[in-house]
């Protein structure tokens, strides 16, 4: 009856191989998902930083314009309406 033991060992080995293959696929999916999330967060941070930079440029241009008006002695726009 040594054939029965070999058959059980072969089935057990096949099950182990399948379980290991499934585990490897799951790990690859988790790593891929994590990388994609990290890339998305990085893109959002870069977009936010660019928006802040654009706002700072606009404020600097406005301040320079107001400074030029003040140096010319002009009244500029009336903030009270």
pTM of the model: 0.49
Using CA atoms, how far apart are residues 74 and 66, in angstroms rounded to an integer?
Answer: 10
Beta carbons of 22 and 14 less than 8 angstroms apart: no
**What is the reported pLDDT for 2?**
54
Q: What DSSP state is assigned to residue 75? A: -
Q: How many CA atoms lie within 13 A of 36 on its CB side?
A: 6
Note the pLDDT tens digit of each residue in 3-58.
666 666 677 888 889 999 999 999 999 999 999 988 888 899 999 999 999 999 99
**Number of continuous H segments (helices) and E segments (strands) in the chain:** 1, 0
Q: Where do the DSSP E strands lie in 4-51?
A: none
């Amino acid at each position: 009856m040594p054939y029965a033991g070999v058959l059980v060992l072969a089935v057990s080995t096949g099950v182990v191989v399948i379980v290991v293959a499934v585990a490897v696929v799951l790990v690859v999916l988790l790593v891929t998902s994590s990388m994609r999330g990290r890339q998305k967060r990085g893109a959002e941070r870069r977009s936010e930083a660019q928006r802040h930079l654009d706002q700072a440029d606009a404020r600097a241009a406005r301040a320079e314009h107001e400074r030029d008006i003040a140096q010319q002695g002009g009244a500029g726009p009336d903030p009270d309406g």
